[in-house]
Structure 1
Amino acid sequence: MKRQAYQPILITDAARSQGDQLNSRQRRYVVMMGVRMACVVAGAILVGVQAPLLWLWLPLCGLGMVLIPWLAVLLANDRPPKEEHRLANRFRPTQRDETPPMTLTAEAHPHKVIDVDP
């Protein structure tokens, strides 16, 4: 869809660059894998020292070892959602009564009339 000439482009509306998005997703993945490794190490230590309430801590560590990698991959492959205005005209038919956005009616923009006849 071609952008109309009368719509201003604001820098605050600009999307983050592809490199910034990739870096943030990589950092999130590494942090989540670090938490997973902490669950693996904590589970091994708890079993080695035969900690009290082992029946409670081992399933929690096991959930961390199983669910965190799955969530990390999902979040690492996740991209920001597409802008709404890109898909707005494809799924919503325009009404004939509806005025297009950013248009001025005659009442909102009165014309100056110059009368030539005295």
Structure 2
Amino acid sequence: MKKHPERPVLITDAARSQDDQLRGRQIRYVTMMSVRVACLILGGILISAQVPLLPLWLVLCALGMALLPWMAVLIANDRPPKTKQERAADAAAREDVRRALTQPAPEPTNITIDADIVEESRPRTD
């Protein structure tokens, strides 16, 4: 009987490190740009081979070459989804702002600053 290797136990709810997230985004970006290069090469091969439905294939390759960079940048700059705690903190902050904006402004208090007028001091003659 074969033993299955034990899986590591998750002991924290910590998010992936910034380096891990960056590495994953870089891999997705390079993969999408490689597909773009493949579309360019495929378009060149299709033109030289003169395949049936050539205009359709060229339009698909052109769309891939035009849309993939845009999608790759969006995906590469994306962050992981927010956790329940982050969403709850955002909702509480929005509620605090809403409550502060809907409450009437406090009445200003008139403060009078009074100063005693001091006569010029004369030297003492004792």
- Normalised by the length of structure 1, the TM-score is 0.65
1:34-61 deviation digits (Å, cap 9, x = unpaired)? 1111100000000111111101100000
Aligned to 1:63: 63
Cα RMSD (Å): 1.6
Which has the greater radius of gyration?
2
Aligned to 1:85: 88
Q: Count matched residues.
A: 84
Structure 1 residue runs of 4 or more that deviate by more than 3 Å after TM superposition: none
The code of the aligned residue for 1:90 comes to A
Q: Tell me the SS of whatever aligns to 1:13.
A: coil
Aligned to 1:105: none
- Structure 2, unpaired ranges of 5+: 1-9, 97-126
Matches within 5 A, 1:8-23: 11-23=11-23
Q: CA deviation at 1:28?
A: 0.2
Aligned to 2:33: 33
Higher relative contact order (CA 8 A, sep 6+): 1
Aligned to 1:46: 46
- Normalised by the length of structure 2, the TM-score is 0.61
Cα separation, 1, equivalents of 2:12 and 2:59: 46
The code of the aligned residue for 2:50 comes to Q
- Structure 1, unpaired ranges of 5+: 1-9, 94-118
1:84-106 deviation digits (Å, cap 9, x = unpaired)? 1331311125xxxxxxxxxxxxx
Cα separation, 2, equivalents of 1:55 and 1:33: 23
